[in-house]
Homo-oligomer: A and B are copies of this chain.
Amino acid sequence: MRAAVVLFSGGLDSSTCLAIAKEDGFAPHALAVRYGQRHAHELAAAERVARALGAPLKIVSLDLRAIGGSALTGDLEVPKDAPIGSSIPVTYVPARNTALLALALGYAETLGAEDLYIGVNAIDYSGYPDCRPEFIDAFERLANVATAAAVEGRARYRIHAPLLRLGKAEIIQRGAQLGVPYGLTHSCYDPDAEGRACGRCDSCRLRAQGFREAAVPDPTVYSPR
């Protein structure tokens, strides 16, 4: 089986993405990036889910806090109960997916893999510039001039974004069919000390609505308020 690198956070989207890479016939190698998240629960979830799906997990540290400019790296407050609009949210991390795909590309080149998976979504995350098809296409073009393997003709990199045009409910239905253990995944931007979801941030609300619309039982453990 050919190897593929899957950018992986232990969240609902990237866990579904990993299951799709397996379904596509690849041996998925999960790559998680410790990028100065506000909480470590995300990486604990990544370890649980990767183990459950039988994928090796590599964790790379990248201190995006040093760059700043985002609620997710500690500079700004995570908004609660705010309308989910089309403007760019404060949880946007400057150039985050560019950095993550660069690391995935380096890891793929080291492994001899040509296929990269990223669970970005242009429907629910329409406000994030680096979750759009234009971004994915531009990165694929870059990958094929940036690496020794591509320049020497040993690799033709493909960036797979299988969730790009799916709504949250469709993602959950697809993942449920593939046996993704959603009870182990973690999506909340601002969990409590025990790692329970806040239920109020954008990510929690999109997730909860997705389970409702998909008519799939929601296994998320919410923080009592």
Contact = CB atoms under 8 A, between A and B. Distances in A.
B150 A145 contact: no
Contact of A145 (B69, B107, B132): B132
A147 interface: yes
A142 interface: yes
A22 to B, nearest CB: 22
Contact of A61 (B66, B93, B96, B142): B66
A135 B147 CA distance: 9
- What copy number does this chain have within its complex? 2
A146 interface: yes
Nearest to A149: B94
Interface size class of A (residues with CB under 8 A): 35 or more
A209 interface: no
A165 B203 CA distance: 47
Interface stretch (A12-20, A98-106, A171-179): A98-106
A64 interface: yes
A225 to B, nearest CB: 31
Interface of A: 58-64, 66-69, 88, 92-99, 101-103, 105-107, 109-110, 129-130, 132, 134-135, 138-139, 141-143, 145-148, 150-152
Given A94-B109, A135-B146, 19 more contacts: A58-B67, A59-B66, A60-B63, A60-B67, A64-B106, A67-B110, A95-B109, A95-B146, A97-B146, A98-B143, A98-B146, A99-B102, A129-B151, A130-B146, A135-B142, A138-B142, A138-B145, A138-B146, A141-B142
Q: What are the 7 A-B residue pairs with the smallest beta carbon separation, nearest first? A: A95-B106, A69-B110, A94-B106, A99-B102, A94-B109, A98-B102, A129-B151
